[in-house]
Structures are given as structure tokens and as C-alpha cells.
Amino acid sequence: MQPINILGVGRTDYNPKPDISIPEMVHRAVQAALADAGLTMKDVDARVTASADLWDGLTASNVAITEVVGAVMQPEARVAGDGLLAACHGAMSILAGAYNVVLVVAHCKSSMGDSDGITNWTFDPIFQQPLGLNDVAASALQASTLSLAPPLPCPIADGAAAIILSHASPLPTPHLIGMGWALDEHYLGDRDLTDSPALREAARRAYTLADIDDPKRDITFVELSDQFDYQRKLWASVLFGKTSEVAHTAKTSEVSARGVPPFVAGLDRLIEVVLRLRKESGTALAHGCWGPCGQGQAVVVVRQ
């Protein structure tokens, strides 16, 4: 694929912000990304936002951020999923020739509601939901299949992240050269929870686009979405194989996505990758996941 430039990145901190509204929080991240890119909102052709109604407690909840993402009388697509997926979609709309400059924004305030209650609603209503399953319980099941202790619940976190993509750049910037994403089966009993075929598939697609034959050799470092502590090891083993534990541990950043809110985590990984690639050359992988036990998986490859 034609490389997509990442012109700017911005994010808030992820401390709980019970007093701050979603629009103000998103505004801070957008302003930071515009400033980082040296652009104004007039330079932006379209936006892809990532958020979820149930977490925001609003129907069509991107309504609340229309003005702060500059979407009045402008195009916006709203992905109801992880921000890394929104970045992939933004890159595709540029590849399609629809837009030149796309702002990608993700937000969530997990302090607003009841994550256990909301994630119970993710499970099918007939068989799994009545069991009281939620993301924490499902992750405990996954950890047990790996012979690990039940994971700690995710800390409450609020924040927003934004990046600006373009097909062209006046200056050399880290560029997105590969992307892939996939869904696994839904029923936990159908899945081998010690593995993630969806992550393998997402990575395969990203490597194909990025012309990467040997990820162990070609990937310089990795930023993983590890909302639960056991996940870093699991995702790394899926990406690089159980036998190369030393290599993947070395490549896997110590920066954890624990404490980054849902929907923001994947985009935050991408921002982490971009910031590091501004200081050192290499090829890096940003990872995002969402849904029970990482049913949804996304991989983006960035090179500088």
C-alpha cells in the first residue's frame, strides 16, 4: 500500500476526570494533535471518530463531539470500536482518494458508568449474558487457561487520543505502511483462549501490506494493548511465537496500556509508536484489541 503519513498526535492524560465533559476532554486531544502537526482545523478534510454509546451514556454519542472535532458541515465517520480501527479506516479513506487529511479521534470515560454492567451486554443475550459474564470475568477465564492467577480489574481511566493522517507530508514523518484487523468467534467455548487466530490474521494482513516476510527480524519494537496484565505475554506469543520469548520481550515496550480507557487504547499504542519513531528509526507495530478476551484484534505497522 501507499504509505500514509502521520502528521501529528495528541492525547490527554488518562487519570479519572469526573468533572470534565466528553467534549472538553476530546477538544484537548484534538488541539494537541493539531498543534503537533502544525495544522489548523481548516486543513482537515474529514474525521473518523471512535467511541461507544453505552460507555458515553448517550445515543449516537458522537453528536456530543461534533463541534470539537470540527465536523460541522464536514464529513465524519464514527467507528463504534477501538481507535486503532478508526485509524485504519481513516487511512483507507485517504488511500481511496476521498480525502487528503483525516483527523482520527477516540475517547472514553470509564469513570462515567459501570464497566462490568456494560461489558455484560456484549455477550449474546441467550446463553452467555445470563451467566453474568463481563470483560473481567472472561479475562479471568482466559488467564486460567494460561494457568495464571485471575487478572486485576482495569483501573478506571478517562481520556482521548487523536492523530492526523495524510497521503502527503512536507517533512519526513513516521508513516503507516501496513494494517490489518479481524474478529474471532464470539462464544468463549468455541475459542482456544490460549491463542488468538484473529490477532494472527490481523498481523498477517498488516505484514503483507508492509512487505514484511520475517516479523521477528523486521519489527524493531511493539506496543501492545494489555488491559489485563497477562495479555502482554499472550499477544506477544501469538505475534512472535512461544519459542522466541526472549526476542519478543525485548521488543515489547515496557509502556503498558493498562490504565488507558477502552476504545482509546489502540490509538494510544499508535501514538506511542509514532513518538518513539520520531527519535529512532525502525519499523514498529501498534496493537489494539476490544471485546471479550480480545475478540476483536487490530495491528498497524509504522516505519520511519
Site for other proteins in 97-116 (CB under 8 A): 97-98, 109, 111-114
| 41 CB burial (10 A radius; 0-12, 13-18, 19+) | middle
DSSP track, 200-239: HHHHHHHHHHHT-S-HHHH--EEE---SSTTHHHHHHHHH
Beta carbon nearer to other proteins, 110 or 283: 110
The cell numbers describing 244, all together, are 522466541
Beta carbon nearer to other proteins, 88 or 234: 88
1 binds other proteins (CB under 8 A): yes
Number of residues in contact with other proteins under rule CB under 8 A: 83
- C-alpha angle 143/145/149, rounded to 5°? 35
Q: Which of 3, 45, 74, 148 binds other proteins (CB under 8 A)?
A: 74
57 binds other proteins (CB under 8 A): yes
Q: Which of 3, 20, 156, 275 binds other proteins (CB under 8 A)?
A: 20
Site for other proteins in 119-138 (CB under 8 A): 119-126, 129-130
Q: Name the DSSP class of 43.
A: G
Q: Which of 39, 54, 140, 141 binds other proteins (CB under 8 A)?
A: 54
96 binds other proteins (CB under 8 A): yes
235 binds other proteins (CB under 8 A): no
Beta carbon nearer to other proteins, 78 or 248: 78
| Stretch of residues binding other proteins (CB under 8 A), selected from 161-169, 267-275, 277-285, 291-299 | 291-299
Beta carbon nearer to other proteins, 215 or 262: 262
Site for other proteins in 243-262 (CB under 8 A): none
Are the CB atoms for 260 and 14 separated by under 8 Å? yes
The cell numbers describing 49, all together, are 471518530
| Stretch of residues binding other proteins (CB under 8 A), selected from 77-85, 236-244, 246-254, 274-282 | 77-85
267 binds other proteins (CB under 8 A): no
Beta pairing class for 283-290 and 101-109: unpaired
Are the CB atoms for 3 and 172 separated by under 8 Å? no
Q: How far is the CB of 247 from other proteins (least distance, A)?
A: 26
**Three-class SS state of 147:** coil
Nearest to 268 by CA among 145, 142, 159, 119: 159
Beta carbon nearer to other proteins, 4 or 234: 4
Beta carbon nearer to other proteins, 58 or 148: 58
Nearest to 83 by CA among 155, 10, 138, 135: 10
81 binds other proteins (CB under 8 A): yes
Are the CB atoms for 129 and 123 separated by under 8 Å? yes
Place of cell 483507507: 92
Q: How far is the CB of 200 from other proteins (least distance, A)?
A: 9
Site for other proteins in 167-226 (CB under 8 A): 180-186, 197-198, 201-202, 205, 209
Hey, how many other C-beta atoms are within 10 angstroms of the C-beta on 104? 31
Q: How far is the CB of 50 from other proteins (least distance, A)?
A: 10
Are the CB atoms for 44 and 99 separated by under 8 Å? no
